Amino acid sequence: MSAARKKLSEKLAHWAEDESAWYRFCPRCGSQLLPVELDGRERRVCPKADFVQYRNPVPAVGAFVRKDARLLMVLRKFPPRAGLWTLPAGFMEYDEAPEETAVREVKEETGLDTAVQKLFSVYRAGDDPRTRVVLILYEAEIVGGRLKPGDDALKAEFYPLDNLPEEIAFSAHRRALSDYLAREKRKK
Ligand SMILES: [Zn+2]
């Protein structure tokens, strides 16, 4: 990792921790929120008692999709971390099951239709500047579609496991890839 990129990632990790993750005003009535201690943690409450802000991580879901010994990777088009690589993944919609998110995100970002096979693992992620994330990763197989980068991807391509892109956008994806490669190595 370059020094500049390391500095940026430290800054982004700090932003996730700081004031910007809190609302200043009640989203229900517009009153200024007040910091309080609840459950031994900091929360923000509305003085009219109609809202408490709990900062919870947001679930994101993605998949390992293989074609023989190659793994599907996506090059991000938009911030945060435009121009860096991830596994196909994205935030869960309110009405989705995690498996549905995985299938939808792979389709949107890569054009491929997939079927979820099994859960790979789950990671916490603290370096996305938008929010803290719980990243759920499945293994999925291709059942149709045609490989074509989606609107929010610059590229969607299969890479040999021993020659994956190095510039990975988020630490949870880096850890997941490292766990996945370690498992593949043990299989041999
Ligand atoms: Zn309020």
Mean of all residue pLDDT scores within the chain: 91
Q: 32 C-alpha to center of ligand 1: Å?
A: 8
Please report the pLDDT score of residue 17 as a whole number. Answer: 54
| Same domain as 159, residue 125 | yes
Determine the pLDDT at residue 5.
Answer: 61
Spacing, Cα 67 to ligand 1 middle (Å): 51
- The pLDDT tens digits of the residues spanning 22-64 come to 889 999 999 999 999 888 888 999 999 999 999 889 999 999 9
Contact 127, 171 (CB under 8 A): yes
For residues 141 and 98, state if they share a domain.
yes
CATH of the domain at 106: 3.90.79.10
How far apart are the CA of 33 and the centre of ligand 1, in A? 8
Residues 95-109: what's their mean pLDDT?
98
In a shared domain, residues 94 and 173: yes
95 Cβ contact list (under 8 Å, min separation 6): none
> What range defines the domain where residue 169 resides?
58-187
Q: What is the DSSP letter of 162?
A: G
What element of type H or E holds 85?
strand 85-86
Percentage, residues of the chain above pLDDT 70: 89
pLDDT at 128: 85
Q: Could you tell me if 38 and 105 lie in one domain?
A: no
Query: How far is ligand 1, taken at its centre, from the CA of residue 44, in Å?
Result: 11
- Report residue 19's pLDDT band, with 50, 70 and 90 as the boundaries: low
**Which pLDDT score, from 0 to 100, does residue 25 have?**
94
pLDDT of 179 > 70? The answer is yes
Please tell me the predicted confidence (pLDDT) of residue 161. 96
Ligand 1 center to 45 CA (angstroms): 8
Average pLDDT over residues 148-176: 95
Residue 106, pLDDT above cutoff 80: yes
Q: CA torsion sign, 67 to 70 to 75 to 76?
A: positive
| 122 alpha carbon – ligand 1 mean position (Å) | 34
Among residues 68, 77, 69, which one has the least CA distance to residue 110?
A: 77
Of 75, 85, 66, 76, which Cα lies nearest the Cα of 180? 66
Claim to verify: residue 129 and residue 41 sit in the same structural domain: no
Residues 20 and 68 in one domain: no
Distance 58 CA to ligand 1 centre (A): 23
Place of tokens 């023989």: 68
Q: What distance in angstroms lies between residue 49's CA and the mean position of ligand 1's atoms? A: 6
The share of the chain scoring above pLDDT 90, in percent, equals 74
Question: Is 106 in the same domain as 183?
Answer: yes
| 70 and 131 inside one domain | yes
49 and 63 assigned to the same domain: no
Residues 116, 43 share a domain? no
- Total structural domains in the chain? 2
Are 85 and 173 members of one domain?
yes
How far is it, in rounded angstroms, from Cα 147 to Cα 141? 13
Q: Positive or negative, the Cα torsion across 77, 70, 88, 145?
A: positive
Query: Ligand 1 is a single-atom ion; what residues have CB below 5 A from it?
Result: 26, 28-29, 31, 46, 48, 50-51
d(CA 169, CA 24): 29
